[in-house]
Every structure is written in C-alpha cells, then in structure tokens.
C-alpha cells in the first residue's frame, strides 16, 4: 500500500511495450463499486475471493504487467498462481515512507480512522515474510519512479532492450 505499484507498473508496461492492468481497477469494474465500497459492504474475505478470481482471469497467458493490491499475494491460492505463471516483483519500502505517501488520500480501507504508520508497520511484520517469496525484490524509496522501473528492468534482464 503506497509503494507505487500502479504508477511503476504502468511505466514498466510502457517501457516493455506491454499492456498494463491494475487488478483493483479490474475488480471495481467487475463489481460496479469501489474497493472501499466492497470492503464496507461485504468485508475483506469477500473482496479477497473476488480479487483472486479477477487476477486468475487476467493471467490468461498473454504477456502484460499486472499491479495487484497489497493483500492479493497473501492469499495462498493467488500467490501460488502468480508464482507459477508470472514473474512476481515485490516493491518494498519502509513503513514510514509508505505512511507519508498514503497519508495524502483517505481511500485505503485498511487505514480508515487509524494511524497509518502503526497499521503499515503491523502489515509489514505479517506480510513481508510472504512477500519475500516473490521472484524479484526491488526497494522503492524517495527516488523518482523511473529509478524503480530501471531497477526492475535490470533485474528481469530487459534493461538493454528497454526504450
């Protein structure tokens, strides 16, 4: 949350000349409501099930860059699918950096009415060992997004082919 998955993903796709899909946007289109509305109305387990089905549908064998929500990779089925069928990239950042970024908008269901730094630190403690299963680990810091995109391209061996 707040690491720049959508922005970096969109720029990465552009550099690789591939389509980009934000899984949260695809979920919102399929449900006809926002992620926050789905959480509020049906709860997180319902959202995660829909998220898993949408990601499975997106992973149709056609090369593309998919940005998933922070909780998607925590789901055992979703994670197994991603690890088997794709190159999983973990964009990681310190909780303080993330809290500063997400503090700009109140659209994060898991943060509503809570201290972002505390929640993000707790999420990191639980999720980071699972995120560590990703094929590639990239640190996202205060540098421009292009720095992160370049690091990903280098890690996946496409650096010299990128425009």
Query: Is 4 marked within a binding site?
Result: yes
In the chain, the percentage of residues whose pLDDT exceeds 90 is 56
Give tens-digit pLDDT for 56-68: 999 999 999 999 9
CA 52/CA 85 separation, integer angstroms: 14
Q: What is the CATH number of domain 5-155?
A: 3.40.50.300
Query: Is 70 marked within a binding site?
Result: yes
Domain boundaries, the chain: 5-155
Give tens-digit pLDDT for 19-52: 999 999 999 999 999 988 998 899 989 998 999 9
Tokens of 74: 């925590």
Confidence of residue 4 (pLDDT cuts 50, 70, 90): confident
Give tens-digit pLDDT for 98-153: 766 666 555 555 556 667 678 778 888 899 999 999 999 998 876 788 899 999 99
Query: Is 48 marked within a binding site?
Result: yes
CA 48/CA 78 separation, integer angstroms: 9
Q: What is the chain's length?
A: 163
DSSP state, residue 61: S
Place of tokens 């993330």: 98
Query: Is 140 marked within a binding site?
Result: no
Query: Is 64 marked within a binding site?
Result: no
Query: Is 69 marked within a binding site?
Result: no
Cβ atoms of residues 45 and 119 within 8 Å:
no
Query: Is 7 marked within a binding site?
Result: yes
Q: Which helix (H) or strand (E) holds 40?
A: helix 35-42
Query: Is 6 marked within a binding site?
Result: yes
Query: Is 10 marked within a binding site?
Result: no
Place of tokens 């997180």: 44
Confidence of residue 162 (pLDDT cuts 50, 70, 90): very low
Query: Is 127 marked within a binding site?
Result: yes
Output the pTM of the full model.
0.83
């Amino acid at each position: 949350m707040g690491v720049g998955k959508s922005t970096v993903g969109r720029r990465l796709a552009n550099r690789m000349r591939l389509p980009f899909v934000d899984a949260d946007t695809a979920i919102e289109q399929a449900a006809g409501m926002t992620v926050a509305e789905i959480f509020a109305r049906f709860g997180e387990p319902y959202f995660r099930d829909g998220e898993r089905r949408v990601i499975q549908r997106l992973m149709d064998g056609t090369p593309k860059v998919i940005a998933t929500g922070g909780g998607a990779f925590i789901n055992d089925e979703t994670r197994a699918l991603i690890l088997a069928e794709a190159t999983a990239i973990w964009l990681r950042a310190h909780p303080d950096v993330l809290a500063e970024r997400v503090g700009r908008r109140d659209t994060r269901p898991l943060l509503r009415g809570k201290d972002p730094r505390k929640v993000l630190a707790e999420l990191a403690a639980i999720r980071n060992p699972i995120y560590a299963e990703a094929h590639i680990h990239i640190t996202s810091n205060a540098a421009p997004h292009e720095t992160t995109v370049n690091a990903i391209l280098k890690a996946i061996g496409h650096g010299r082919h990128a425009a």
